[in-house]
Structure 1
């Protein structure tokens, strides 16, 4: 099972403020994000799940939550931890799952992810949610694509 973190990250590591993106909308980034995660299950926290209810991403949503175990959405599954989330994704026949936030979920999964796809947003923004710190020596930049308002970077974990 390949685990891929997908996030938009400002220069100062901010990924959110009050449950929203702190920068103006970037349609090209939203489009590539949605296309990327459309073909597999996504792993996300309950708050992120609730914020996306009107337009749920992925083929299934694996929701990590300590407080809620059932969701009135046919494609949503409850997971209690990283191993449980991976087992659910595998039970759905997936060979890849996308970790899509929030901050606590990215942090929890960081030691387990195989790849990161990061939209680097120009500028620093005020925020209350950050992408976790990671050791660049453990990762290799596999691809970098410049767009008008962001740079898309794909990182793969270096061989151990």
Structure 2
């Protein structure tokens, strides 16, 4: 199973303000994000899940929450912690015959799963924005950019964690 975090972040690492992205809507970024995660299981926090209820991403949603034991959406399951979410993700990969599970946030979920992810697909948004949520810092010596595509308002970079000894 590959575990890949997907996020959009400003030049200063900000990913959100009051539960929303702090920059103007970027349709190309939303489109590429939706296409990427459409057929795969996703891991997300309860608040992120609740904010997306009208248009849930992914084929199955694994909702990480210490306060919710079940969710009322047929494609979603709850997990109380990282290990439970990873177990649910492994089950989903086997049942659905896919390889990748995506981590979609919010901020604390990215932080919790950062030590476990094999890859990151990050939309580096042009500009510095005020916000209350940041993407976790990472040691770039442990990562390499394996693909990069420039768009008008952002650069999409796919990062891969280096193997030991690389």
Please confirm whether the aligned pair reaches a TM-score higher than 0.5, indicating the same fold: yes
Q: Does 1:55 align with 2:55?
A: yes
Q: Provide the residue aligned with 2:148 in structure 1.
A: 144
Q: Does 1:8 align with 2:14?
A: no
Give the TM-score, by structure 2 length: 0.94
2:113 to 109, 113, 120: 109
Give the TM-score, by structure 1 length: 0.98
For residue 110 of structure 1, give the secondary structure of its aligned residue in structure 2. helix
1:73, distance to aligned residue in structure 2 (A): 0.3
For residue 28 of structure 2, give the secondary structure of its aligned residue in structure 1. helix
What is the distance in 2 between the residues matched to 1:154 and 1:57? 19
Q: Residue deviations 1:34-93, cap 9 Å, x none?
A: 000011110000000000000000000000001111111001111122221121122122
1:95, distance to aligned residue in structure 2 (A): 2.4
Q: Provide the residue aligned with 1:120 in structure 2.
A: 124
What's the RMSD between the two structures over aligned residues? 0.8
User: Do 2:6 and 2:103's aligned partners in 1 also have CA atoms closer than 8 Å?
Assistant: yes
Number of residues of Structure 1 aligned to a counterpart in Structure 2:
160
Q: Provide the residue aligned with 2:77 in structure 1.
A: 77
What is the distance in 2 between the residues matched to 1:62 and 1:47? 12
Q: Provide the residue aligned with 1:88 in structure 2.
A: 88
For residue 22 of structure 1, give the secondary structure of its aligned residue in structure 2. coil
